[in-house]
Structure 1
Amino acid sequence: MVCASNRPAPGLGLECADCDIKGLSICESLDQGDFELLERIGRTVSYPAKATLSEQGRDASFVSNITSGALRLSKLLPDGRRQVVGFALPGDFLGLSMETTHMFTADALTPVKLCQFSRQGFSDLIDRKPRLMRAVLNMAAHELTMAQDQMVVLGRRTAEEKIACFLIGMRGRYGRIHGPSVHVPLPMTRLDIGDYLGLTVETVSRMMTRMAREKTIVIVPDGVRLLEVARLEQLAEM
């Protein structure tokens, strides 16, 4: 449920022709004429930072494509603990499983804009467009690979290797959107990073401070700057 102060801005019609991330999302699989079909079932919505877009276990009437901003995806365990399962960035799609209820809670880390589609309308469109179906399957396979990699990170990596994997991974994801850079935005908190990597917030802070002291990274207000990319890549591959 979204609090009254965090409700999305009124939905607007899609403007697919002017979309900056069209080439990064499943929309890339559509022909020019297909976007009219997409626009009929979709709308653009915006949320402020800290808004809850969806809650685990609640009805999922819509699926969404993120066009700007960043989200934290988390799951509440039966004993009340929180597990952060990922961070969604522009080009990512929410609702690939097409389940009737939300599997995770999605919170906005920054102001967020999404293309939102009715779940049933999008399902019908997939049935009519085989290329869109393949794109959805490819994205689902990619998410499965990322989940498998995350299992290795959680189970077999040292704290230093976990942080290195995270930073290199985020660099690659932002690089896909904006182009290669040594600057890595980190809109999430260190507690979020710890909950994602299976580390305490104290361990995350200690490891990042050590990396900064060793001049592997520089901590900047909105994230980090990677000074020793090769060293971080080596740690991430170990």
Structure 2
Amino acid sequence: MIDPDDMSRLAQYSHRLAVMAGKTFIQEGEPANDFFIVTSGHVKIFALMPDGRRQITGFAQSGDFLGLASGATYGFSAEALGPLALCRFSRTGLNILKREFPDIEHRLMEEASRELVQAQKRMLLLGRKTARERLASFLLEQHHRSPTREIVINLPMSRTGIADYLGLTIETVSRTLNALQREKLIAITQVTQITLLNLPALETLARGG
């Protein structure tokens, strides 16, 4: 993530975009001429399967880069989960950024690497973990991405979106969340709000313990 102070400086060299909820602003397969920084709101990242279905591959929030690790074309699509604000940078403008921000090249490489690490983590999540381990990992991921590491996490995505991302059915997601609540690991205070009651136990579960 980019620090708020750096974000305001970087914004001077970008084109600001306001995106309505539900609108796709990156299309898989289109030329990757730009990259983006999310300045507020949340993003659903997805890929199209051969049969036309969507597979959610990640979520982004304020401070996240999108498109840095892309090749000549975007390997994913991105859609606003709610009202969204972005800074768009052209790839041809990178030299200006590097000149104005001497440390920006290192930061950009870090962000591109983070995109690849997230992809590797997702492969492990889907390939090796049980439904309980996937849900625990997902909740902890949302907790760690919170700037203040609050134990109360607000989920901008629907249960259907969570199920798609984790490779589960919505019934399995609901049943597993209810089981975690009965075990007093979490409390479901609202449909989109979950309180993490026992972080050590969730971390052990996420690791397969």
Report the TM-score, using the length of structure 2 for normalisation.
0.88
Deviation at 1:126, TM superposition (A): 5.4
User: In structure 1, how many angstroms separate the alpha carbons of the residues matched to 2:67 and 2:114?
Assistant: 14
Which of residues 196, 205, 209 is equivalent to 1:235?
205
> What is the CA distance between 1:107 and its match in structure 2?
0.8
1:187–1:223 CA contact under 8 A, matched in 2: no
Contact 2:39 2:62 in 1 (8 A): yes
Deviation string 1:156-179 (CA, Å, 9 cap, x unpaired) is: 1110000000000110001xx2x1
Q: Is the 8 A contact 2:158 2:192 kept in 1?
A: no
1:223, CA displacement in angstroms?
2.3
Structure with more of its chain in strand, by fraction: 2
Percent identity, please: 39
Report how many aligned residue pairs link the two structures: 206
**In structure 2, what is the equivalent of residue 214 of structure 1?**
183
1:60: how far off? Answer: 3.5
Give the equivalent residue in structure 2 for 1:225. 195
Indicate if the aligned counterparts of 1:127 and 1:133 stay in contact, CA closer than 8 A. yes
Quote the Cα distance in structure 2 between the aligned partners of 1:98 and 1:69. Answer: 22
- How far 1:44 sits from its partner (Å)? 1.8
Deviation at 1:235, TM superposition (A): 0.6
Asked if 1:154 is matched to 2:134, the reply is no
Q: Superposition pairs for residues 76-155 of structure 1, below 5 Å?
A: 76-121=48-93, 123-125=94-96, 128=99, 131-155=103-127
CA distance in 2, matches of 1:119, 1:99: 11
Structure 2's unaligned 5+ residue stretches are none
Q: So what's the TM-score if we normalise by structure 1?
A: 0.78
Once residues 38 and 183 of structure 1 are traced to their aligned partners in structure 2, the CA distance between those partners, rounded to angstroms, is: 30
Q: CA deviation at 1:74?
A: 0.1
Query: Closer, same or farther in 2 for the Cα pair 1:107/1:221, shift >3 Å?
Result: same
1:197 aligns with 2:169: no
Task: Provide the C-alpha distance between the structure 2 equivalents of 1:213 and 1:147, rounded to a whole number of angstroms.
Answer: 32
Shift of 1:115: 1.2
